[in-house]
Structure 1
Amino acid sequence: MAKPNPLLAGAAGRCPNCGEGHLFEGFLRVSPRCEACGFDLAAADSGDGPAVFVILIAGFVVAFGALFTMVAFRAPVWLTLLIWLPMTLVICLALLRPMKGLMLAAQFINKAGQARHD
């Protein structure tokens, strides 16, 4: 059996080792172990990386969309805010889980570990 692409598995919320088990329990809490292969996921920590990428991507999309809406359609500020503030929330929530999965998969690929002082 061929190994799955860890980045695609992570983005889909699957174990980067086997591609079968769930990476998350809940919305963003990482499972302690993969239920399919038993891979230890407890040591994985993505830190603030996913949030930074989500802020950059969502900020670009929302800023461009809001400016485009105001210039192209001459929309008033209240209408622009009514459209793009909820879109900000939707875009951020939609991107956060896949980005966290990608960061955890990147750690798996690079065999990254937390610094230890034993």
Structure 2
Amino acid sequence: MTRSLLTGLKRGLKHRCPNCGEGRLFTSYLKVRGTCEACGHENGRYPADDAPPYFTILIVGHLFIAPVLLFPFIWTASPFLVVGTVVPALAVVTLTLLPFVKGAVVGAHWATGTVKPLQ
């Protein structure tokens, strides 16, 4: 069975089982469902570990923080005002993006066949 990386990424970004695309991938915010409710595929065996936070920080840093540094507001306003407005906004963006990135990482692991080693 050939597994497409693009299919795994798309299904993961939608928070769906990478195998069937029907079942939910998460039981809560970032907890991967052990087995798919639709097809019975074992999704808990795909190791996400530190990749989702790393990629999320990389995305937020390049797409949000770098452009924000171009606004004169950052350099001329009071540091308390800047921190009070920019940090909460970045926290919301980061926490919103994290489950999508984790789903994509699980989908990529499904496509490449990377599984946790037996312990």
State TM-score, norm by structure 1.
0.84
Structure 2 unaligned blocks of 5 or more: none
Residue type matched to 2:12 in 1? G
Higher RCO, 1 vs 2 (CA within 8 Å, ≥6 residues apart): 2
**Alpha carbons 1:66, 1:80 under 8 Å: kept:** no
Moved over 4 A (4+): none
1:72-117 per-residue CA deviation (whole Å, 9 max, x = no partner) reads 8843323222221011111111110010000000000001123447
- Tell me the equivalent position of 1:32: 34
- Distance of 2:73 and 2:82 partners within structure 1: 11
* Alignment RMSD: 2.3
- Tell me the equivalent position of 1:13: 15
**Alpha carbons 2:68, 2:74 under 8 Å: kept:** no
- Distance of 2:48 and 2:12 partners within structure 1: 12
Identity in percent:
32
Would you say how many aligned residue pairs link Structure 1 and Structure 2? 115
State TM-score, norm by structure 2.
0.83
Structure 1 unaligned blocks of 5 or more: none
